[in-house]
Structure 1
């Protein structure tokens, strides 16, 4: 699994109430329950709300703005 940070945290513009925006690439297909499990795990270890998505789930008009901000997280 690879995670890419984007949004206010990646731009160093986060506030105390900001969520963490992550794009994730899985090495194998995952189902909805596994996807939610990953999001909940990340929220637990990061201590904040996580907006988790995949590159394929990005709406076309958001794709380029999001992809220009991405930082390889882990």
Structure 2
């Protein structure tokens, strides 16, 4: 297993339980971490789909918990909120977490 793959698997295992606790039924990493181009200072971009409806406050709470657990800046987007012009690229590069 390459160090990139090992890093992804470590990240996935760290956050999968947290995502489930917040009622996330589907999640993926995209951006530099998904492409294997992340640097130490790179943020982590995560797509989520919740079971049922969640509020913006729920999304913010999830973001804060992820940042605390990963000790990195995290961006959390929902699949439904993806901008149409970016959607295809993001979905092509996503790597499943859940």
Q: Which TM-score band (shorter chain)?
A: over 0.9
What is the TM-score with the length of structure 2 in the denominator?
Answer: 0.72
Which of 58, 65, 71 is the equivalent residue of 2:89?
A: 65
Any stretches of 5+ residues in structure 2 without a counterpart? 1-23
**Structure of larger gyration radius:** 2
1:56 and 1:28 map into 2 onto residues whose CA distance is: 13
1:55 and 2:75 correspond: no
Residues 1:10 and 2:30 aligned together: no
CA distance in 2, matches of 1:32, 1:58: 15
Shift of 1:32: 1.2
Q: What is the rounded CA distance, in whole Å, between the counterparts of 1:46 and 1:73 in structure 2?
A: 14
Structure 1 position 21 matched with structure 2 position 45: yes
Count matched residues. 74
Query: Which structure is higher in RCO with an 8 Å CA cutoff and minimum separation 6?
Result: 1
Which runs of structure 1 show a deviation greater than 6 angstroms over 4 or more consecutive aligned residues?
Answer: none
Which deviations, in whole Å up to 9, do the C-alpha atoms of 1:16-71 show, x marking residues without a partner? 11100000010111111111000100111111000100111111110000000111
